Amino acid sequence: MYVKDFLWTQDKTVKQLVDELGSVGFQSVELAKASDVIVKMKKNSAKIFLTFTSNMVTSGLRGFFAQLIELKIADVIVTTVGGLEEDIMKSFGEKFSIGRFSADDVELHEKGINRVGNLMINNESYMNFEDKILPILDKIYKKKKRWAVSEMLREIGLMLDDKHSILYQAAKNNVPIFCPAITDGAFGFHLYMYQQKHKDFIIDVVADFGNILFTTSHDDKKGVIALGGSISKHHAILCTLLNGGANYAIYITTAHKTSGSMSGATTEEAKSWGKVKDESDVATVNGDVTIMFPLAMIRALDILKEEGLLKEDKSNA
């Protein structure tokens, strides 16, 4: 393969764009490769683990993740608690505004505004979340006293009515959501406070470790789409490690491999642990997920649609 000059043409599709970027060089090549790996995962009926961090749900990717669940792209979701809180917030109409990375943070704090990059969340959104989550916890508690995290999240999803919600689509399509650090956020605080009044209310994180292990097996083909890093990425690839390693993996991250962090660890590094098989198809893309992932995924969806391998999208019906 040779480097090819990239040229503008009117009405270029996303598929054409990513195809042509695959011959430009640098991260463009990895982007096109990542899209190819996604297609291979689906064509070869791999069990696909989709992982993402909460800041991606703060952004407008939240509805895209929900759509991918509806389209049967993701079989297992692993994420952090902030994204679940914000998914619930948005399901009840909360809106986050776009500001500036260079905003005056002291002024924002005085105004009761919390900054996530250039996205802003009002304190009132968390107060409204408390008003919504407590009646939900009451219903869950009345149904039974002990829940694995993923079981509780499915129950919450069944109570929502928003097609753009990750929890709603996961519950509707029987896709489990795992959140091993469920206490690391506002939701965790409310679970703790609820337990102070109801000592027999137990959210069992350890039971969910068994549940994620049994979502797949050594015999299954396994694929990982890890967006960002942290515990969500590691929890999925630990599951693949204990089940013989992933056959396919793409990582998209802004972290660098020289950090020695989970966020910066590449698909190649994962092979040293057995989290990814030696002969696996892999790609590591260094870049912003809000740009790179839609490009790679939309191209993959277009290809799968053309080949009749995509569930009919009724999300806009």
Catalytic residues: 275
Which residues fall within 8 angstroms of residue 12, CB to CB, at 6 or more apart?
Answer: 20
Beta strands in the chain (DSSP E): 47-52, 76-79, 97-98, 113-116, 119-122, 146-148, 177-178, 202-204, 222-227, 246-253, 276-286
The strand pair at 202-204 and 177-178 is best described as: unpaired
179 near 84, Cβ under 8 Å? Answer: yes
Run of H or E including 32: helix 27-43
> Which among 54, 182, 181 has a CA at the least distance from the CA of 117?
54
Phi, psi of 103 (to 5 degrees): -65, 155
C-alpha–C-alpha distance, residues 186 and 189, integer Å: 5
> Which among 125, 123, 66 has a CA at the least distance from the CA of 94?
125
What is the rounded (10 degree) CA torsion for 57, 58, 61, 64? 50
Amino acid letter for position 153: L
Residue with tokens 């599951």: 239
258: how many CB neighbours lie within 10 A of its CB?
7
> Which among 199, 201, 252, 200 has a CA at the least distance from the CA of 224?
252
C-alpha–C-alpha distance, residues 224 and 190, integer Å: 31
C-alpha–C-alpha distance, residues 66 and 9, integer Å: 32
